[in-house]
Structure 1
Amino acid sequence: MSFFRATAAEFSKVFTTRMWWLLAILLVAYVAFMAGGFGAFLGWAVGNPDAAAGAGQAPLPTGMPLAPLLYSFASSIGYVFPVLLGALAVTGEFRHKTLTPTFLAEPRRSNVLSAKFGSQLIVGAGLGAVAFATSVATGAAALAAFGLDTELGSSDTWALIGRGVLAMALWGAVGVGLGALVPNQVAAIVIVIAFTQFIEPILRLAASLNDVTANIGQFLPGAASDALVGASFYTIAAMGSPESLEWWQGGLVLFAIGAVAAIIGGLTTWRRDVS
């Protein structure tokens, strides 16, 4: 079986199950709630600074671009979904014992893992397009409702969206690398949720406390993703390091994390006998 046929088989495995569209629905709902809700809150805070101050809301930094902040919710909170789908694409094979027929059809295991890596890049980009369509629609609607600039006429905004879709694609590949390293499905899901929702936010906050750790913290996967996109709600939440990689450096770091994890997994768990 050629690499292209193996890749086509991986797409079939994804789209003939319910998992992809269930995750897509959750992604849309989550991003719409956060981008639209936070956009409405920011619009109200900008239009009513005295009331916002009376409610204990700290004033927004002068000149902070609100539109990129809202649109980037698609990647800064939505990245967990392509990671999960990428990890499930690998761990599901172990859980449901489908690796045996897979390896019988394609004995070159590296081809199978490479096909998963490549296919999840594309699936992740698809989820990214859906996520950014949602964040732009809800975020721009909230801004427009309060008479604020949506910045949809700016080329910088569309460049941010394009980089965000790329970031989501790379997160899908990171998920494949994680699944190859940790073939137990439950363990992989727990790691994804625990790291993305708790561990890394804490690490990013701690890293921002001094210059030495700040330089290290910018290489965390979430920080690299935010650098690639160019905006993140972590900015206004005062979480994470003020230090940031260039967008292309962030992309390379994120790709390297996925590739290295997949290579290590391919050299270890992926080579074991399948029962």
Structure 2
Amino acid sequence: MSATLQAPPATTRPVIAHVGIPGLRLVRSEIRKITTTNAWWLFGIAALVFTGLALFINMSEAAQHLDRARDTTAVFRPGRGLGAAEIAAARAEFAQLHDLHLQSVNAAGNIFTSGQFFGLLLVMLLGTLVITNEFQYQTATATFLTTPQRTRVVFGKLVAVLGLGFVFWLVSRAVSFAAGLIFFDNLGLTNSLGEWPVQRAIIFNLVAYLLWALLGFGLGTLMNSQIGAVVTSMIIYLGGFVGGIGVFNLIRNFLIHGDWVLTSAVVMPSIASQVMVSPEKMYPQAAPWWVGVLVLTGWSLVAGAIGIVINRRRDIA
């Protein structure tokens, strides 16, 4: 009589349910890539330095403007040879310069958003580096092979970029808030944080940080060269700030005579950013603040959409 040995039944491997937020691992991975390089803390130190410098300049100018506005002995004296319209304009300007409430609101808007000029440039460059680093150091192949679903990878990068933009905004605003509150307390004036123009400037200052980070990410996808992408980003940003209004002024003075030409300068991302975060109008012909919001949002969404499409189709071999 022979006995037959039977193998024990195979045990099935238990299915472990997914735990956590889908895509969070990718976001952590992208943040880890950034924080393991020197770029993030170098950019962070630069942001703090520029915020401190901007605070010094803004508070110095605000102190002068507020001292002039508190001068109750000042009397309007029109210049000689001025017409009725010129006198009326000069009187209106004099009234604004000596309106303490208006000057306090303007000062608060500038102080509590100090450092945004270079801060926005830095987050834009970070957004560019997040995507160009993958191809500069040839890590894109490993990234996309590890996670073949490229859309998830791209969205993970986007979330990481927006998160970095928020962190830069938060740190800069914490520094400017602390300095601003002390400044207004020493002058014995209200900090104007209850005023909508100041609140709007702070809110859309955050929006600007996020949108410029997104715009930088989109620009980074358009160029294979990291240096080329960084230089192009700086030209778009700094060129728009420095020469944008000047170009439109030349067009208005020599080609098309109309105030709408200066209003249309808002189509440039840098001008749109300034328009939307200014507590008051940047210049008399400037577009409303909400137009700046729509324009910069449009540029950023287009750049982000192009970035997603290009990364889905780009050859990584």
TM range (shorter): 0.7 to 0.9
Residue 181 of structure 1 corresponds to 222
Identity of aligned residues (%): 26
Residues in 1 aligned to 2:286 and 2:152: alpha-carbon distance in whole angstroms:
38
1:254 and 2:296 equivalent?
Answer: yes
* Partner-residue secondary structure (3-state), 2:191: coil
Distance 1:140 1:187, change over 3 A: farther
Distance 1:212 1:121, change over 3 A: same
Deviations, residues 91-115 of structure 1 (Å, cap 9, x unaligned):
1111111101110112222322222
Residues in 2 aligned to 1:142 and 1:261: alpha-carbon distance in whole angstroms:
39
- Segments of 5+ residues of structure 2 without an aligned counterpart are 1-17, 72-92, 253-257
> How many residues are aligned here?
262
RMSD between aligned residues = 3.1
1:242 and 2:305 equivalent?
Answer: no
1:273 and 2:293 equivalent?
Answer: no
Paired residues of 1:11 and 1:119 also in contact (CA < 8 A): yes
1:218 and 2:266 equivalent?
Answer: yes
The residue type equivalent to 1:100 in the other structure is T
Distance 1:202 1:151, change over 3 A: same
TM-score by length of 2: 0.71
Distance 1:76 1:187, change over 3 A: same
Distance 1:189 1:4, change over 3 A: same
Select the structure of larger CA radius of gyration.
2
Residues in 1 aligned to 2:110 and 2:312: alpha-carbon distance in whole angstroms:
40
**How far off its partner does 1:73 sit?**
2.8
Residues in 2 aligned to 1:242 and 1:229: alpha-carbon distance in whole angstroms:
16
Structure having greater relative contact order (Cα 8 Å, sep ≥ 6): 1
Alignment of 1:20-35 (within 5 A): 20-35=40-55
Alignment of 1:1-275 (within 5 A): 3-44=23-64, 46-47=66-67, 61-62=97-98, 63-64=102-103, 65-154=106-195, 157-207=198-248, 209=252, 210-231=258-279, 235=282, 242-247=285-290, 249-268=291-310, 271-275=313-317
Residues in 2 aligned to 1:130 and 1:166: alpha-carbon distance in whole angstroms:
15
**How far off its partner does 1:157 sit?**
3.2
Paired residues of 2:198 and 2:279 also in contact (CA < 8 A): no
Paired residues of 1:164 and 1:229 also in contact (CA < 8 A): yes
**How far off its partner does 1:21 sit?**
2.2
**How far off its partner does 1:66 sit?**
1.3
* Partner-residue secondary structure (3-state), 1:97: coil
Distance 1:69 1:6, change over 3 A: same
Distance 1:198 1:81, change over 3 A: same
Point out 4+ residue stretches in structure 1 off by more than 6 angstroms. none
